[in-house]
């Protein structure tokens, strides 16, 4: 492809993108395909000769698009959102065109310095105090892994990377059972081992870790000769929005000299609204916090922000400097690859910078406030229906519900069949979870283009399909 063709096809792609967004409501949110359908439609062997772009593009439209789940669909109410505001897509296009590697300051000075600036913009937007540095990672999973590795190294007096874990004290990390599985993975990958992730019982509407139980577990482990290393707290857990009392947990972490990491991957975006900040009161006392602007805020995936109180600890944990990566004579610069496991890094700050400038915080706050209000409204409407029950009350814009099964029918099976029937219908998309061992259907409003009418449509679809099944 020469640069004239590049221009022509880029323009075609831009037109396609705008048409796609315009017509999303006409598509089923989740495609009606069976496993293997798309695989079988793709040639089994790679082409020996160049193919014309027309044919490649036509195949994209015919074979790929109908097999996609549409995460930008305004009636996407499943999982958590992965919003890509159009302006962030434009920025990503520019990033793709430059295709820079942003691992060191000198490999892309503007990318590094814009990252430092946008992280600080977000710190201010979320109401966090000065004193936090930060970095944009690919995912919350990576940020949490970094936090776990830092906990490990701090607790082992920086000897873990060097000597491994054999012969060292038994490290212990504490969390509730409401945290995301990325915490389990961080513990596995760090070598600490799942058996040393101590699950603290939860209580209350938001399933917060019981402070007394947390403290007792730490004390008992220490008395037994183990090495408590850190606590991972949740604000807005994936299942039902489980949220710890961060101030209480931070006080325990402080008393016992433990590292505190807060996972607010989804809910963090809502902290741009001052009235929601009570959900993470005490976050300013954490050692690190992760939140994903690529979820609710609108920065195209991937864009996961990790705030860190003492970045030197992270750098001490992860930095490695062979001669070819040294930046001689450049004092006081940041090489962000020393803040993450991968060396190569994308230019992630540009889309956030475009997004924040093009929308302004006030418009983003309005979007989030609308989502929370619409979700609460739908929960109230469903609660008034005699054949529905609310299983977990709204935490921001997430709640879960259940439809009552006919007498004698298995309620879990009934609700799984319901969620499948709703998704096969295609007008909306939902996912399920388990609450206290029983199936519940999650509902979150978070899509960038969602309207009150889309949430009304969800009520119609849910009640209509549930009653047709009953």
* Residues near ligand PLP, by CB under 6 A: 80, 139-141, 180, 182, 236-238, 263, 265-266, 292, 304
Closest approach, Cβ 55 to ligand PLP, in A, equals 34
Please say which residue, 144 or 461, places its beta carbon nearer to ligand PLP. 144
φ, ψ of residue 438 in degrees (nearest 5): -120, 145
80/429 with CB nearer ligand PLP: 80
Closest CB to ligand PLP among residues 139, 433: 139
Q: Kindly tell me which of 268 and 311 has the beta carbon lying closer to ligand PLP.
A: 268
The least CB distance from residue 351 to ligand PLP, in Å, is 15
Nearest approach, Cβ of residue 417 and ligand PLP (Å): 25
Q: What is the DSSP string of 143-207?
A: HHHHHHHHHHHHHTTT-HHHH-STTS--EEEEE-TTS-HHHHHHHHHTTS-GGGEEEPPEETTTT
CB 281 within 8 A of CB 252: no
Smallest distance from ligand PLP to CB 295, Å:
7
Contacts of 157 (CB under 8 A, 6+ apart): none
Count of C-beta atoms within a 10 Å radius of residue 47: 8
The CA distance from 228 to 216, in Å, is: 12
Smallest separation, CB 435 to ligand PLP (Å)? 16
CA 414 from centre of chain? 29
Give the nearest distance from C-beta 237 to ligand PLP in angstroms: 6
Closer CB to ligand PLP, 81 or 160, in the complex: 81
Q: Which two tokens stand for residue 458?
A: 């969800």
CB 308 within 8 A of CB 135: yes
d(CA 417, CA 166): 48
| Closer by beta carbon to ligand PLP, 263 or else 287 | 263
- Residue with smaller CB distance to ligand PLP, 143 or 253: 143
Alpha helical stretches, state H, 258-302: none
Q: Least distance (Å) from ligand PLP to the CB of residue 282?
A: 18
Q: In the chain, what's the furthest Cα-to-Cα distance?
A: 76
């Amino acid at each position: 492809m020469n640069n004239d063709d590049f221009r022509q096809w880029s323009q075609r792609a831009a037109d396609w993108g705008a048409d796609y967004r315009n017509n999303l409501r006409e598509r089923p949110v989740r495609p009606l395909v069976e496993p293997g359908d798309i695989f079988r439609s793709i040639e089994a062997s790679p082409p020996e000769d160049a193919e014309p772009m027309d044919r490649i593009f036509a195949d994209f439209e015919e074979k790929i698009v109908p097999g996609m789940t549409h995460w930008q669909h305004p009636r996407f109410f499943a999982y958590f959102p992965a919003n890509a505001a159009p302006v962030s897509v434009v920025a990503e296009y520019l990033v793709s065109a430059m295709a820079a590697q942003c691992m060191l300051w000198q490999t892309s000075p503007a990318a590094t310095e814009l990252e430092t600036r946008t992280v600080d913009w977000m710190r201010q937007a979320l109401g966090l105090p000065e004193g936090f540095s930060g970095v944009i990672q690919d995912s919350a999973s990576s940020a949490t892994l970094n936090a776990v590795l830092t906990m490990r190294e701090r607790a082992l007096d920086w000897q873990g990377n060097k000597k491994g874990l054999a012969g060292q004290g038994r490290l212990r990390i504490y969390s509730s059972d409401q945290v995301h599985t990325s915490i389990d993975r961080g513990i596995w990958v760090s070598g600490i081992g799942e058996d040393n992730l101590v699950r603290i019982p939860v209580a209350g509407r938001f399933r917060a870790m019981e402070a007394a139980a947390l403290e007792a577990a730490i004390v008992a482990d220490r008395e037994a000769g183990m090495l408590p290393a850190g606590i991972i707290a949740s604000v807005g857990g994936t299942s039902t929005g489980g949220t710890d009392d961060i101030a209480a947990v931070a006080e325990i972490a402080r008393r016992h000299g433990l590292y505190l990491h807060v996972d607010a991957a989804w809910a963090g975006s809502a902290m741009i609204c001052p009235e929601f900040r009570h959900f993470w009161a005490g976050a300013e006392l954490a050692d690190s916090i992760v939140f994903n602007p690529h979820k609710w805020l609108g920065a195209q995936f991937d864009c996961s922000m990790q705030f860190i109180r003492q970045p030197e600890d992270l750098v001490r944990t992860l930095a490695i400097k062979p001669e070819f990566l040294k930046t001689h004579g450049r004092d006081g610069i940041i090489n962000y690859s020393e803040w993450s496991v991968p060396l190569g890094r994308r230019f992630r700050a540009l889309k956030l910078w475009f997004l924040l400038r093009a929308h302004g915080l006030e418009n983003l706050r309005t979007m989030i406030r609308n989502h929370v209000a619409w979700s609460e409204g739908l929960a109230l409407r469903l609660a008034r229906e005699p054949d529905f029950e609310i299983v977990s009350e709204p935490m921001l814009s997430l709640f879960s519900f259940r439809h009552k099964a006919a007498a004698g029918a298995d309620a879990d099976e009934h609700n799984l069949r319901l969620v499948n029937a709703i998704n096969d219908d295609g007008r909306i998309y939902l996912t399920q979870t388990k609450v206290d061992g029983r199936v519940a259907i999650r509902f979150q409003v978070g899509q960038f283009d969602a309207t009150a009418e889309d949430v009304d449509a969800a009520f119609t679809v849910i009640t209509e399909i549930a009653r047709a099944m009953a």
